[in-house]
């Protein structure tokens, strides 16, 4: 699985000397850099060699083949020319393994799904990252019409809570939906001899999470930032995280777990979408082991990492108590967990066994200010992920609700 470190992404090639310029222009994290278009490249005077390097490295990053970045770039060939080489040429010229060649040649085999930026409301200031700006301007018009209709409906019900406004949202792909609480399906274990643990069917009250004490362990990743917060930061209320902007709160069971790493990587890969929607990304740990944090950030996750020493976010997911499972019954005898492990292993993520791994995690989407919890996903089976498409759709709906409320407020205010 490819790292989200900018230094790892650019390697020793033509992009390395461009890092200061990329930082200056706001192309300062890997997911954002990968959506740069030709107009953006011309705006910062990228050379043809640098443009080819970015195309090659973005393609390799999607396929977890970044170990070949320097040698492919040094060949002087562009991506189209490389894709037309034979298997023998790829092996003899670049030392690429046969399995890696198959992944490289398969243009549909990206380890992460294609990035489609949803629309965000324009302002009088053009985005410094023109690719993101164009992506939301050129969004499918029918989707915009659907959201306009939704906006009208929300305008007439702006006094509803986020929970009520999202209560009719449907979860697909076999996920159980109870209002705005979702979880993976219960799975029979050991031929029905072991029952899956029950999960809460009610969303956690906002009052349960707003005063949770958390401590910041890492900043949001940018080129050249310190790997960890240098000095121990004082605890703060969790509500400070989403005081100004909505937030996705990813509760990590164990940062060394291959399934947790794969989930975090898949979610952070969509950072430009969340940026376009005005959504922040936070990962929450219930155990602080410094080497584990260093291995996790920014390789698998470039958002802010915070420490919840009291495990209160995890208790909130469990309806007031920690949702736990044992390795034997929860993993070895659980076909769903085994399938989740295989899915994560296919991404190329590495793993270790350090730390507490029995406490289940999950995900919250929290509206800005005190507007409430918009979505809650519970890790019923080890390795269950909140479906990324559902998370993005909820965030998009959340944006419509908040914008609709703002429009109604403005319409009601005297001129």
Spot the catalytic one: 111, 191, 193, 260: 260
**193 a catalytic residue:** no
Euclidean distance between CA atoms 4 and 15, whole angstroms: 15
Spot the catalytic one: 111, 193, 251, 257: 257
The neighbour count for residue 112, using CB atoms within 10 Å, is: 20
Q: Give Cβ neighbours of residue 120 (< 8 Å, ≥ 6 apart).
A: 136, 276, 277, 278, 399
CA distances from 12 to 8, 15, 16, 19, 92 (A): 9, 8, 6, 11, 22
**257 a catalytic residue:** yes
Q: For residue 142, give both structure tokens.
A: 């029918």
Euclidean distance between CA atoms 194 and 326, whole angstroms: 12
CB of 63 closer than 8 Å to CB of 76: no
Q: Give Cβ neighbours of residue 35 (< 8 Å, ≥ 6 apart).
A: 115, 117, 129, 131, 132, 135, 272
Catalytic residue list:
257, 260
């Amino acid at each position: 699985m490819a790292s989200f470190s900018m230094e790892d992404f650019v390697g020793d090639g033509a992009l390395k000397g461009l890092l200061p310029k990329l930082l200056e222009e706001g192309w300062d994290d890997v997911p954002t850099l990968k959506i740069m278009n030709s107009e953006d490249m011309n705006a910062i005077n990228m050379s043809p060699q640098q443009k080819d390097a970015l195309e090659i490295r973005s393609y390799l990053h999607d396929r977890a083949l970044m170990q070949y970045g320097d040698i492919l770039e040094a060949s002087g060939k562009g991506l189209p020319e490389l894709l037309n080489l034979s298997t023998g040429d790829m092996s003899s010229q670049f030392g690429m393994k046969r399995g890696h060649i198959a992944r490289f040649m398969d243009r549909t085999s990206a380890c992460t799904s294609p990035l489609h930026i949803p629309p965000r409301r324009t302002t009088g200031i053009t985005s410094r990252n023109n690719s993101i700006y164009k992506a939301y301007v050129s969004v499918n018009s029918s989707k915009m019409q659907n959201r306009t209709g939704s906006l009208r409906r929300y305008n007439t019900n702006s006094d509803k809570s986020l929970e009520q406004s999202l209560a009719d949202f449907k979860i697909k792909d076999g996920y159980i939906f109870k209002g705005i609480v979702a979880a993976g399906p219960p799975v029979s274990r050991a031929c029905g001899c072991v029952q899956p643990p029950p999960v809460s069917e009610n969303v956690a009250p906002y009052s349960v999470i707003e005063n949770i004490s958390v401590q910041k362990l890492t900043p949001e990743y940018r080129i050249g930032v310190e790997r960890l917060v240098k000095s121990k930061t004082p605890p703060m209320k969790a509500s400070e995280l989403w005081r100004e902007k909505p937030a996705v709160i990813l509760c990590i069971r164990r940062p060394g777990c291959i399934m947790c790493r794969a989930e975090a990587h898949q979610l952070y890969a969509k950072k430009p979408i969340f940026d376009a929607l005005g959504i922040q990304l936070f990962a929450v740990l219930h155990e602080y082991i410094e080497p584990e944090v260093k291995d996790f950030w920014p390789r698998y996750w470039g958002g802010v990492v915070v420490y919840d020493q009291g495990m209160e976010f995890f208790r909130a997911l469990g309806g007031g108590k920690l949702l736990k499972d044992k390795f034997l019954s929860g993993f070895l005898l659980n076909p769903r967990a085994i399938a989740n492990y295989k899915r994560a292993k296919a991404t190329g993520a590495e793993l270790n066994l350090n730390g507490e791994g029995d406490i289940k995690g999950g995900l919250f989407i929290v509206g800005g200010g005190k507007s409430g919890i918009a979505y809650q996903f519970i890790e019923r089976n080890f390795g269950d992920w909140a479906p990324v498409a559902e998370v993005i759709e909820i965030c998009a709906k959340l944006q419509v609700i908040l914008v609709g409320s703002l429009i109604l407020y403005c319409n009601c205010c005297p001129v």
